[in-house]
Amino acid sequence: MRGHLASSRRGLQAAAACAVALVALALPAAGQGARVTRQVLSHPGYASTWAYLESPTDAYASASRHARVLGYLGLTTQDGTSELLFEQQRVLVHGSWWVQVRLPLRPAGQIGWVPQRALGAPQTVHTYLVVSTEKATLTLYRDGKVIFFTRVGTGKPSTPTPHGQFYVRDRLDGFPSDSTYGPLAFGTSALSNVETDWPGGGVIGIHGTNEPWLIPGHPSHGCIRLRNSEILKLSHLLPIGTPLSIV
């Protein structure tokens, strides 16, 4: 077990270093002479920020309304819950703050920019979720330490679970005891290009199961399945807004 924890911490450090590198490379191309102030907002596994979307907005490829539009963001998710966005950094360009966020759009794993005034007050989480599709494992960190580990079921080769950097977008419960989703489910910002086993279709969820004998393995249409006893344990530890790496 000690060896596993050491390996997990190395994995967390490597993922964090990768995230910092992505942030450093993703600064917007401002016009010549533009004054840019930059603040990093999240360090996955330690302290990260997210915010509810309070005004509908387009998401842009860089911090400018003249940049390419990546997609439209409304106030609610496919599940009817309040939309939230994971914040990576913010920049001040010509007197206006823009926030770089992970986008719940296709293709999965996009990063874009939205005006800060479209977002509510920032919320902080100290958790970080890592799912390995190869090893069929899920590991939850808090402040750099492993606090939960379990085996999972992920997507079939024909309907794989997408890899990338995402976040926990909402939580749903109240399912029947024999539900496909077990007692509860978490929606994520990851979206599949095919229909998943999520109620609204397309969302990569983290949920319980009525087929526990298929875990660990690759039985799903892209969602991440846990045994019901394990999803219940996770439910007490995993806040919405938590950054998620699927590797």
Each domain of the chain, given as residue ranges in start order, spans 2-23+35-122, 127-246
H or E, element range at 230: helix 228-235
pLDDT at 192: 82
Mean pLDDT split into 10-residue runs, the chain, 247 residues:
34 44 42 70 96 98 97 94 98 95 95 98 98 98 98 94 97 88 95 71 90 94 95 98 98
* Domain covering 127-246 in this structure, CATH number: 2.40.440.10
Angle of CA points 203, 209, 212, to nearest 5°: 135
pLDDT at 196: 65
* Domain covering 2-23+35-122 in this structure, CATH number: 2.30.30.40
Contact 110, 104 (CB under 8 A): no
Q: What distance in Å separates the CA atoms of residue 31 and residue 12, rounded to the nearest whole number? A: 36
Quickly count: other Cβ atoms within 10 Å of residue 173's Cβ. Answer: 11
pLDDT at 199: 65
Residue 37 to residues 21, 40, 87, 90, 191: CA-CA distances in angstroms? 18, 10, 16, 8, 32
Of 245, 236, 196, 239, the closest CA to residue 84 belongs to 239
Of 174, 2, 190, the closest CA to residue 106 belongs to 190
Residue holding tokens 């750099």? 144
Residue 148 to residues 19, 29, 129, 140, 142: CA-CA distances in angstroms? 22, 40, 9, 5, 9
pLDDT at 122: 97
Q: What distance in Å separates the CA atoms of residue 169 and residue 63, rounded to the nearest whole number? A: 23
Name the pTM for this structure. Answer: 0.84
